[in-house]
Structure 1
Amino acid sequence: MDIGVFLPTGRQQWQPAGDPRELIGFARRAEESGFASLFVNDSLLTPRIEPLTMLAAVAPVTEHIRLGTGALLPVLRRPVQAAQALASVDLLSGGRLTVAVGAGFPGRFGQPLHELSQVPWERRFARLDETVALWRALWAGATEFCGEFHSFPELPPATVPFRPSGPPIWLGGATPAALARTGRHYDGWLPYPPEPADYATGLAAVRKAADEAGRAPDAVTPALFVNVRIDPDPEAARRTMDAYARSNYGMPLEELRRIQAIAMGTPEQVAATLRRYREAGAEHLVARLGALDLAGQYEQLERLAALARPAAVTPPVAIKPPGSP
């Protein structure tokens, strides 16, 4: 299982003592520590470094780590300009970009974003799918596009991504409709179900939809968004994660646990939780580190790096003594 991390781009994660320019060093450290990917979050509701700006800054100072959005909210950007920005990051990174997208969900983290963007909340999923279709058409050299929400009788030459087909596009979401759309149209799945059993059920639905659409069994990368806090003292891990949940999500830990995947506690406890998601089918895990400042983020990065070594997340192989059958 590949393991990646989120860059702590939110202001509350690097203030008051931190400097956001230190995020460049954090990205380098993540690559040096062997992580498979580095993701950034997107929002207008909390102060943060804009995600595509962050990835553009990180691309030239890293070499092989995959760069991703989790999840980019296309409603916040004009679609043609967003296609150009994404293609540019893919070029600057040498084809290392993965674009996970979302449409938001009811409540304080969804509808206000549409109001700020002056885009209707209704039919947001259809609008998202059409925006992705427009991006792909632009990257493929389309000169026109006619859709329900976006219509361009004449398109200018587009910035061409590093890869001819453009960066892979994943979908975040676990409703029945989102699972079906993931299987039919997207290259990966990045949900955060609170239980491994929910993940397994959702992945089965994604693969069924992919098969019905005539796609290959491995057409959709199964990924997972998970909040992680590693601490030798389980109670200390719980207290810090509760403070993190209140600061980052505006809700107590117990409320967050009902809607998002969380792995916290001792290294052994966290490894056991991640192993259950791997057994449920997750192949690429992206961890949001539960720490309240940049120094704490670095500490958690090192602890997760130690945990992510194969011996820590792979069940031990029984070694037979000499002479045994």
Structure 2
Amino acid sequence: MDIGILLPTGNAQWDASDDPRELIDFARRAERSGFSSLFVNDSLISPRIEALTMLAALAPVTDAVTLGTAALLPFLRRPIQAAQSLASLDLLSGGRLVVTVGAGFPGRFGRPFYALSEVPWARRFDRLDETVSLWRALWAGAGSFQGEILQYADIPPATRPYSPGGPPVWLGGATPAALARTGRMYDGWLPYPPDPGDYATGLLDVRKAAADAGRAPEDVTAALFVTVRVDEDAEHGRRALDAYARASYGMPLEELEQIQAVVTGSGAQVREGLARYVAAGARHLVCRPAAVGLRALGDQMERIADLIPLLRAS
């Protein structure tokens, strides 16, 4: 059972007086508090510390925690350059990297990013899968790659990652097509369904797809991305969550919790809510603390950390 924390790398989560360099200490505190992984987001929605830059800063100042993306948007980067950066990160961290990838979403969460990146929106899922296949080929020492979308000949020797074959690559998403693709070719699954029942059903589909592809179903890590707010005052917690949802997504809490996993309440209630996902099969929880301001976020991180022994025991 792994329990990680999403670092607040976007300035929508900061107070005006916060110094982003404090994120280094935030990450160190998280590792000392018992979290087994540190994840960062990747987006153009609002100004934020670039994901791979943040992980590169964390690699030499942490010891054992997994360093991950949740989720990296590969279309924002040139495919071969991204493979080089990820291999370098895996080397610098001693093999502690996990790369969750996604293709973006319609509306303000995706299509405008493709235009800025000069990448076509059409066939975005095929492009994502081919990009991951290209990375794996380069990490294994291939000198060329011929896909339907990406073709490269005479590729110079690439940086080889610390981990044989490269870091694990997970997929975010819970559509039927995403479930099938996860089982077929990815090393892990990191969705955020609001209903634990939907998580259990999706995981069964992922494992069936893995078995149908001749893979061991248990080789696909079952992870969960979940927004968490620990607050003994239920009304205050809901207000704080609503402020967080509006600051981060420009939508009220009532809308956010219809599309993403959100768990709030007292420590006991949060533990119970997360335990439902554990019972549904989740084995790596990536918890996003819901607060605005690094001090308040640090307080939430410590409250979540208090639940780690109880969650692992469950």
CA drift of 1:106 comes to 1.4
Q: Give the counterpart letter for 1:41 in structure 2.
A: N
Q: Give the counterpart letter for 2:174 in structure 1.
A: A
Please list every run of 5 or more consecutive structure 1 residues that lacks an aligned counterpart in the other structure: 316-325
Please list every run of 5 or more consecutive structure 2 residues that lacks an aligned counterpart in the other structure: none
Q: Give the counterpart letter for 2:44 in structure 1.
A: L
Distance 1:250 1:156 in 2: 44
Kept in 2: contact 1:235–1:265 (CA 8 A) = no
Kept in 2: contact 1:275–1:313 (CA 8 A) = no
1:262-281 matches, within 5 Å, as 262-281=262-281
Kept in 2: contact 1:228–1:262 (CA 8 A) = yes
Is 2:57 the partner of 1:57? yes
Structure 1 residue aligned with 2:15: 15
Structure 2 residue aligned with 1:231: 231
Kept in 2: contact 1:2–1:285 (CA 8 A) = yes
Q: Which deviations, in whole Å up to 9, do the C-alpha atoms of 1:13-61 show, x marking residues without a partner?
A: 2231110000000010010001010000001221000000000000000
**Structure 1 runs of 4+ with >2 Å offset:** 312-315
CA drift of 1:313 comes to 5.9
Q: Give the counterpart letter for 2:177 in structure 1.
A: A
Give the RMSD, CA atoms, in angstroms.
0.9
Distance 1:101 1:95 in 2: 18
1:207-222 matches, within 5 Å, as 207-222=207-222
Q: Any idea what SS the aligned residue of 2:39 has?
A: strand
Q: Any idea what SS the aligned residue of 2:100 has?
A: strand
1:100-249 matches, within 5 Å, as 100-249=100-249
Number of equivalences:
314
Q: Give the counterpart letter for 1:64 in structure 2.
A: A
Distance 1:222 1:282 in 2: 5
CA drift of 1:308 comes to 1.3
Kept in 1: contact 2:144–2:152 (CA 8 A) = yes
Is 2:94 the partner of 1:84? no
Q: Which deviations, in whole Å up to 9, do the C-alpha atoms of 1:136-182 show, x marking residues without a partner?
A: 00000001111122111110100010012100000000000000000
Q: Give the counterpart letter for 1:219 in structure 2.
A: D
Distance 2:29 2:45 in 1: 28
Distance 1:83 1:208 in 2: 29
Distance 1:127 1:265 in 2: 40
CA drift of 1:197 comes to 0.2
Distance 2:63 2:148 in 1: 40
Kept in 2: contact 1:274–1:313 (CA 8 A) = no
Kept in 1: contact 2:13–2:244 (CA 8 A) = no
Tell me which structure has the larger Cα radius of gyration.
1
Distance 1:53 1:208 in 2: 36
Distance 1:46 1:208 in 2: 38
Structure 1 residue aligned with 2:46: 46
Distance 1:313 1:253 in 2: 28
Kept in 1: contact 2:3–2:286 (CA 8 A) = yes
CA drift of 1:314 comes to 3.7
Structure 2 residue aligned with 1:320: none
Structure 1 residue aligned with 2:259: 259
Deviates more, 1:180-189 or 1:139-148: 139-148
Deviates more, 1:115-124 or 1:69-78: 115-124
